[in-house]
Amino acid sequence: MKKHAPRILLLDSGVGGLSIYKSIKHLLPHIGVLYVGDNDALPYGEKSDDFILNRVIHITRHYELHYQPDLVVIACNTASTLALPDLRSATTIPIIGVVPAIKVAGEISRSRRIGLLATPATVERLYIDELQASFADDCNMLRVGSSHMVEMAEAKLSGDNLDMDLLKREIEPFLKNDIDTVVLGCTHFPLLHEELQSLGPNIHWIDSSTAIANRVQHLLKAQSLFCAPYPSSHTEIDSAEFTAEISDTLNKKLQQLGFSKIQDNRKELFNFNPNA
């Protein structure tokens, strides 16, 4: 039996991956998580493909060496819909990506008019065309790309008030077009679920977090790494690292969520040469 509980690396451009973190810890409370928020480069949804690809490979390889996770979760749709094949060839650790739950929308939509709410980069990806063709071919899918909502989710976790008029404007196309099911294709957006629900109470807002938690459990079992309970001396702590500064409010929230070690401003991360 492995001496320590499994440890996983969760990566996003900011706080969005915390929506995935919550679901994973709900299902697997004993595993250790290192959460990395690359907030120095936020928002990923407005960056070039090359920039995102290099950044995500760089960070993953850095922590492959320094944290040695059993599993990596790219808790970011913008990165996952672009970088998974290259990332898998660049590392030896199993990688789980988070991609929009278009399959679920195709299964449950009654009106056959569905929406995708994601970052400007994600809504343009070829990968989205492929998902729609495979799982929601008979649906009319309206795509809305929003970086304002990424900023809003960041602001919410830093204790700032939300501009509900702006949020309403972002989702207006869905409200006006008889859309009954909207896929939250950015991990930041489930953090605004309460507000979205109040503005669009008749819409089914779908996210991928529970499916990802199940996938993590499945892969840990497949690697024979899932054999809880562990003696308390062998459990892992949860840590969070951010590439730029974070607010005191976010720091407190992270502690409440269960992170016992939090570091920000980790610019030195990029002194590491992933090709060395």
Active site positions, annotated = 76, 186
Rounded Cα–Cα distance for residues 60 and 62 (Å): 5
| Interaction between residue 77 and ligand DGL (CB under 6 A) | yes
Residue identified by tokens 């071919």 is: 137
In the DSSP assignment, the letter for residue 89 is H
Least Å distance, CB 112 to ligand DGL, is 26
Burial class (CB in 10 A: 0-12, 13-18, 19+), 113: middle
**Tokens representing 100?**
């929009």
- Residues touching ligand DGL: how many (CB under 6 A)? 18
Shortest Å, Cβ 235 to ligand DGL: 28
Interacting residue with ligand DGL among 23, 60, 78, 132 (CB under 6 A)? 78
As to burial, measured by CB atoms within 10 angstroms (0-12 exposed, 13-18 middle, 19+ buried), residue 173 is middle
User: Tokens representing 12?
Assistant: 């996003």
Task: Tell me the window of 20-28, 85-93, 156-164, 185-193 that interacts with ligand DGL (CB under 6 A).
Answer: 185-193
Q: Which is nearer to ligand DGL, 44 or 226 (CB)?
A: 44
Residue from 6, 32, 43, 145 binding ligand DGL (CB under 6 A): 43
When asked if residue 208 is in the footprint of ligand DGL (CB under 6 A), the reply is: no
DSSP 186-197: STTGGGGHHHHH
Q: What residue has token string 């499945």?
A: 218
Q: Report the nearest approach of ligand DGL to the CB of residue 261 (Å).
A: 22
Q: Could you give the angle at which helices 77-90 and 126-135 cross, rounded to 10 degrees?
A: 100
With CA atoms as reference, report the closest residue to 34 among 253, 237, 254: 237
Build a one-symbol-per-residue string for 255-274: x at contacts with ligand DGL by CB under 6 A, - elsewhere.
--------------------
Residue 44 in contact with ligand DGL, rule: CB under 6 A: yes
How many angstroms separate the CA atoms of 42 and 20, rounded? 18
Phi-psi region of 3 (alpha: psi -120 to 50; beta: other; left: phi over 0): alpha
Smaller CB separation from ligand DGL, 16 or 200:
16
Confirm or reject binding of residue 122 to ligand DGL (CB under 6 A): yes
Specify the residue, 6 or 37, whose C-beta has the smaller distance to ligand DGL: 37
Residue 119 contacts ligand DGL per CB under 6 A: yes
- For residues 3-42, which are near ligand DGL according to CB under 6 A? 12-14, 16, 42
Smallest distance, Å, CB 40 to ligand DGL?
11
Question: Residue numbers of the site for ligand DGL (CB under 6 A)?
Answer: 12-14, 16, 42-45, 76-78, 119, 122, 147, 150, 186-188
